[in-house]
Structure 1
Amino acid sequence: MAEQVEEQAALTQAEEQTQQQAQLHIADYPQAKARTLRFTLGSPRSIRAVGDGKRAFFLRSGGPEDFETSLWMSTFDPSGEHKEVLLADPRQLLGEGADEAVPAEEKARRERSREGGQGIVAYSTDRAGHRVVFALGGQLWLVQVDSDGLGGSVRALGGQDAQMLDKVHNIVNPTLSPDGTRVAYTTGRELVVVTIGVDGEPDTMRLALALPQGESDDVKLGLAEFVAGEEMDRYEGFWWSPQSDALLVEAFDASAEPVWYLSDPANPSQPAAARRYPQALTANAKVGLFLVKLKTDGSAAGLSQVEWAHESFEYLAVARWQAGHGPLILVQNRRQTDDQILAVDVEHPTRSDESPEASDPGVLDFANRSQLPVLATEVLSAHSNPQWLDLVPGLPAYTPDGRLAEALVDLNTDTTRLGLDGQMISPAGCQLREVLDLGEGDALAVVSSDPRSFDLMRFGYDGSLKVLNSRPGMWTASRAGRGIVVSGQTMQEPGVCAWHTLLASGAQLDALACSGKSQPKAGVEVCSHLHSQAAQPGFTPNVDFVRLGEDQLFAAVVRPSVGSPWEGEDHLPVLLKPYGGPGFQQVVFSQSYYWDAQWWADQGFIVLTADGHGTTGRGPTWDRAIFEKMAQVTLDDQVAAVQALPDLVPQADLSRVAMIGWSYGGFLSALSVLRAPEVVHAACAGAPPTDWTLYDTHYTERYLGLDSAVYRRNSIIDDAPKLRRPLMLIHGFADDNVSVANTLRLSQALMAAGRPHTVLPLTGITHMTNDPVVAEHLLVLQRDFLYEALGVQSRD
């Protein structure tokens, strides 16, 4: 009996120590989050299986607070032993503290892709996975994998032509040719091809394509236009032919777009930076697509343009050029209610009598492109929807045997499904999110039957299917040959878990177990973890997943943790923490989504996150319920979630409710205190798009159309006189996505109406708020504001 008492006492003491440690970590959370880039530094990312699958490349920094990202290789030796090989370390290549010399166009690409790291942040491989290239410090670098596949060497790439030296230091998106013999990159005005020297021969550099001398800076070559990167997740502006002898190249003219200016008010001596912005209800950039055929030295042998109905379909949403097939593109009309999947005929350019042969095939005169030979396109498939059509990553594409894979909206079953040559092969109720790979006999995709879980699924072309992840979470994968690297986040582990698996010869993906266990199951030859050096927050969120209201909103409730000063309180204020807008979710089975929420809960709140209409994963009808009325619909969902909360969480004090959010979540926060002040009593709105005419075309017009009256109903400037609740507006002056004009216009309207409010300006901060000092203090400043607004006494 005495031994049992001692054992119980020891357990109690251990639990108390664990709780105390967790509270210390929660107290340190704002600083730790800032130092670790939201606990992502040191974690493997951008993982890509290559060749026969025995190798995979990935990026990882050197530790939990190291922003400098290096290139690594995961590989298996002949005995099956797993190795992680450091291929390229930016500090070794450039020297400690050296300037990375990131070009302005590359900085813009990183902002569009939400890239917060430094060093080697992107790379390209050949088809076989023998070579890797990347840009660093204004130089182009090549990694040559050893013949045994267990290591590699790195060197700078370059040429001896003095006329090309000014093209070397503005390298954007270097991309290896499929056969690994050439590298193409853009400077924004020129497309450069580097032929890699062999057997001691030097590398050579040639201009494959360039804009004419004196061409306006509004015309760009080889880059994705703003809305492609920001809204279509297309960051490429050129594509290699499978034979490595030609390039499909985008060029665009943004001169019709309005000119916007970004300035730094904290440094008035610095001039404002002018840029074109595709403002809603105004003109878009004019986009063209061109084929440049290459000579053996990498210079241009011929130039032609791709023809489609540009006036009717002004968006180039997808371009793809797969082995064994011609180019495939997807174009959309301005309203995104119609699209076409087009096959490009690159073998039979046509020329009219009025189109003389270009004198220099290496120069693209965008304004006079009608003189170029034309590459015809064939409509393979077309789609229409009265609200809008979504883009599904990985589609459209060809299967290896030439069938067309596309996303099909099945209104009869309210499901976005995978189609092959027009026949749906994925099941009803299984929402297609992304296609990762199209193999000989199956497709690997990310799907959701429960919107909170992003599942890996194998769709056999024979109708078979298999969910590959053993537990719910946010999963993705990369497949090549017999190899597959699976990575994901779940509620069971903090951070990203990743495994490199080599399937046994002849085995199907069904044999895969996403567990990373050292003893593989039948059908798996070898399987090993990729090491993560990422920090952990030191606590586990206290999350309950619930369904709320008549629409059964998916929601997450986070309460104060055990040991918190607020544990056991009968009544606690409610903090709404949504994104709440279209195209994104917050209620998912990933622990990392609730770390912020747990910090807030341990400041004395019941934290509620609810995904309303428009958020992904519940089907086309759910998504489109916000069309032309997204402000009111998304606000009504948050109000419904609050009103239903006490039925499940009796401690929720609905007399003290606040909302915080960023971007659309910031808009929703400001909207809530303006239009629902009886429900939400204070708000912190970060980077809110308060006037939707100040946001970009492709996103905004998808949901609000082209009627300016609809924009006025969904914007909140006119609501300023209604403000009766405390409101903090937060915005970065360097934000080129949601302009600070949104916050300033609302503040001006509030001032004109005599409504007190708080504005927190962030000088030099973009939409990502990656500055460690800002990230560290932003949470605390918002907490203190809400404490005062709701009458909460701190218990620090």
Structure 2
Amino acid sequence: MSFPRQQARTQRFTIGVPRGFQVSADGDRVTFLRSRDGSDPATCLWIHDTERGTTEILADPRALGADDENLPPEERARRERLREHGGGIVSYTVDRAFTRAVFTLSGRLFHVDLAGDDREPRELPATQPVVDPQLNPAGDRVAYVSGGALKVIDISDAEPENGDRVIASPDGEHVTWGLADFVAAEEMNRFRGFWWAPDGSSLLATRVDESGVARWYVDDPASPGQEPTALRYPAAGTGNPDVRLAVLPVVPAARQRAEGDPAPVWVEWDREALPYLPTAGWTTGPDGTPTVVFTGQSRDQRTLILFSADPVTGLVVETRTETDDVWVELMPGVPDHTSSGALVWIGRDGDGARRVYVDEDPVSPADVYVRGVVSVDGRRILYSGSPADRPGEVSLWLVDLESGLSAPVDLTDTGPSDSDAHGGLRSGRLRGDTLVLQHRSMDHTGVRTVVVRNASTQTRQSRTEIESFAQEPDLPEPRVEFWRAGQRRIPSALVLPSWYSDGDGPLPVLVAPYGGPHAQRVLHARGAFLSSQWFAEQGFAVLIADGRGTPGVGVEWEQDVHLDLAGPVLEDQVAALEDAAERFGCLDTSRVGIQGWSFGGYLATLAVLRRPDAFHAAVAGAPVIDWELYDTHYTERYLGTPEGEPKAYERSSLLADAGDLERPVMFVHGLSDDNVVFAHTQRMSSALLAAGRPHTVLPLSGVTHSPSDPTVAENLLLLQVEFLKECLGVEG
């Protein structure tokens, strides 16, 4: 099988990789998601016994009659925000005691017991379609969203007439309960809209009113008889949804029928000053009392405030405030709390370094680039970060307050084997002092998963492995050179053909960046370079550079794109190209192409428009062209509002440059894209046509922000390489 076909059919070799881990409190059992093999997209639910090292399947979607073509619109939207292209069981929740799990298939609700001998999944008579079911801590009730209403069903008494009931229902045409709004899911990584109280007595839920958000339409001309899809899209400078929080008591069905629906307890804060709700949830105080915790962020994103609230009265108290003259970054995994009630937070110290804090005490060193808090397990804190001199690596550090050791322990030596203990990328989950550790590196292809018992004590550790079923790519081992380019020491990588030798002559260059916020491409893992190696095998030297704006280097590096998303990122791509040409004698800089997707597509278009002397052809996938057409939370973080910072939008948007096009460019864009809508490419094409500039547009019918259909993904790769070969004069 050819590499393009294999990569498409394995969803970039992610099918069969274990993911979605949950760990029991005693560390004896681990549940996870994985398909049956490396090409079957139907994801199953599995359980792993850490004592015996055995693994068995709990739920197979094919045996339960799943149909991924029959998903409710809310679930499709949720998966699009998650970039979830798999099928079957794509998420699940467990109770505190690890006795039960719940999940949804094709809008139907299922539960399965994790303890005991009877592990047959059973369907619950919930109102369909079911979206985002969440099991309560006791394991006897499930909350979910259906038709914009938040509902609860009792597992122990799940009869249609008395088990399933509404907790909160929409009170307006554009109101929903319990769902994350667009910008929360797309830009804040908040994909949920409700949370169970620790004692299961109530739910904290969002009420979202989108009546003030502009209505946009996503159309597919290939289906003229089909109505366009209407969505509420908060474009830069326009209205955001109104998001409120309420505590909703959950009482037995019989009591609710007799007494009526309990009144919500509204949690009120200054939503005009802090309209964004990045996080919400619960914590338990030292006395066992549940407390609501949430964060509010200002629209200019320079202020982030952590609040606590009394769930009985709704009284709100400010707990912590972070401010920044540029923007406050939303960090993964926080806020959280230790078992003693101490706040776990990520903030900047007096010197500007990003640190992990427990209350007011920093527990991470200043020379580690902190990426996020991974888990809080009692009084143990697991966080991820990169060493200051190695931005392409991701390590895990463990702080054990239980033993009185507040100094972090680097877990890079905790690997599946001694041969790959160092370097690469690590991710994990910690509970009950059991660590599920996943490792990617340049030493092996794919992902290796090891379960480490007693992770905080070297002498008592035991390990078992969870196998990955992912396919091995039919491709030579990536041939990658890493270095830091130019005066700014830009993290860079050059990928060469496996067959290339010095006597073969200079190679045309393909620059393949993302180049923007929240995404790194220069990572020390083989999986990051599979597509690049395939392009290299076609006769290119592939250059990848993570310039200013990308994560991994430092806060100032990320913030250098403030009020200008064009200048710094393009300058750094040119600087990396020039440095590579001096460093490696095999690059033909008279034949340079550039290819990218999303922000990378924007950067590819930018490159041929403003630096045609350096870039001679481009493939731009789903590019942002006009930043006034992109969403509020992302765009305004970097550029402000169009009204307040018009020159920032002028500098960064590309329509005015259409008349300067001198190089061939191919635009690729999904007609059903609801993130970077097709209007970006359409407006650019119209501007180029008006200026008399030839160009190519490849519209993808029925495709959203990234192609998931295997045939489309395969042929798209082939068409891109043929376009670049023709434009750059690459033979064979």
TM norm structure 1: 0.86
**In structure 2, how many angstroms separate the alpha carbons of the residues matched to 1:142 and 1:571?**
60
- Counterpart mapping for 1:452-601 below 5 A: 452-461=392-401, 462-470=405-413, 471-503=422-454, 509-511=456-458, 522-524=459-461, 526-538=462-474, 539-562=476-499, 568-601=503-536
Higher alpha-carbon deviation: 766-775 or 572-581: 766-775
2:193 equivalent to 1:253: no
**3-state secondary structure, aligned to 2:444:** coil
Instruction: Quote the offset at 1:411 in angstroms.
Output: 5.5
2:30 equivalent to 1:56: yes
Match for residue 319 of structure 1 among 273, 280, 297? 280
Instruction: Quote the offset at 1:108 in angstroms.
Output: 0.2
2:333 equivalent to 1:394: yes
CA contact (8 A) 2:204 2:281 kept: no
**2:564 corresponds to which residue?**
629
2:56 equivalent to 1:91: no
CA contact (8 A) 1:100 1:138 kept: no
2:32 equivalent to 1:39: no
- Counterpart mapping for 1:158-197 below 5 A: 158=125, 168-197=127-156
Deviation digits for residues 253-293 of structure 1, max 9, x if unmatched?
11111111011101111111111101011110010001111
**3-state secondary structure, aligned to 1:274:** strand
**In structure 2, how many angstroms separate the alpha carbons of the residues matched to 1:620 and 1:46?**
29
Match for residue 307 of structure 1 among 251, 264, 268? 268
Aligned residue type for 1:310? R
Deviation digits for residues 155-199 of structure 1, max 9, x if unmatched?
11126xxxxxxxx21211000001111100012421110111169
- Cα gap change, 1:188 to 1:619, in 2 (>3 Å): farther
**3-state secondary structure, aligned to 1:321:** strand
Aligned residue type for 1:469? T
TM norm structure 2: 0.94
Q: Which runs of 4+ in 1 moved over 3 A?
A: 198-203
- Cα gap change, 1:411 to 1:726, in 2 (>3 Å): farther
**1:145 corresponds to which residue?**
114
CA contact (8 A) 1:560 1:567 kept: no
Aligned residue type for 2:471? A
Instruction: Quote the offset at 1:646 in angstroms.
Output: 1.9
CA contact (8 A) 1:418 1:432 kept: yes
**1:220 corresponds to which residue?**
176
**2:186 corresponds to which residue?**
230
2:54 equivalent to 1:114: no
Instruction: Quote the offset at 1:441 in angstroms.
Output: 3.3
- Counterpart mapping for 1:423-434 below 5 A: 423-434=361-372
- For the aligned residue pairs, the C-alpha RMSD in angstroms reads 1.8
**1:69 corresponds to which residue?**
43
- Cα gap change, 1:609 to 1:510, in 2 (>3 Å): farther
**In structure 2, how many angstroms separate the alpha carbons of the residues matched to 1:123 and 1:625?**
39
Deviation digits for residues 342-367 of structure 1, max 9, x if unmatched?
001113x2xxxxxxxxxxxxxxxxxx
Match for residue 310 of structure 2 among 345, 348, 372? 345
Match for residue 783 of structure 1 among 721, 724, 731? 721
Aligned residue type for 1:71? L
**In structure 2, how many angstroms separate the alpha carbons of the residues matched to 1:740 and 1:483?**
46
Larger Rg: 1
**In structure 1, how many angstroms separate the alpha carbons of the residues matched to 2:380 and 2:55?**
29
**1:358 corresponds to which residue?**
none
CA contact (8 A) 1:252 1:286 kept: yes
Deviation digits for residues 669-703 of structure 1, max 9, x if unmatched?
00000000000111000000010011101111001
Gaps of 5+ in 2: 414-421
Instruction: Quote the offset at 1:510 in angstroms.
Output: 4.8
Instruction: Quote the offset at 1:387 in angstroms.
Output: 0.8
**In structure 1, how many angstroms separate the alpha carbons of the residues matched to 2:157 and 2:616?**
69
Instruction: Quote the offset at 1:488 in angstroms.
Output: 2.5
Instruction: Quote the offset at 1:483 in angstroms.
Output: 2.1
- Cα gap change, 1:64 to 1:439, in 2 (>3 Å): closer
Match for residue 168 of structure 2 among 209, 224, 236? 209
Taking every aligned residue pair, what percent have the same amino acid on both sides? 40
**In structure 2, how many angstroms separate the alpha carbons of the residues matched to 1:302 and 1:55?**
39
Higher alpha-carbon deviation: 176-185 or 482-491: 482-491
Aligned residue type for 2:685? S
Gaps of 5+ in 1: 1-24, 160-167, 350-374, 512-521
Aligned residue type for 2:353? T
Instruction: Quote the offset at 1:568 in angstroms.
Output: 4.5
- Cα gap change, 1:99 to 1:722, in 2 (>3 Å): closer
**2:663 corresponds to which residue?**
725
Q: How many residues align?
A: 706
2:647 equivalent to 1:709: yes
- Counterpart mapping for 1:690-705 below 5 A: 690-705=625-640
Instruction: Quote the offset at 1:436 in angstroms.
Output: 1.6
Aligned residue type for 1:394? G
**2:417 corresponds to which residue?**
none
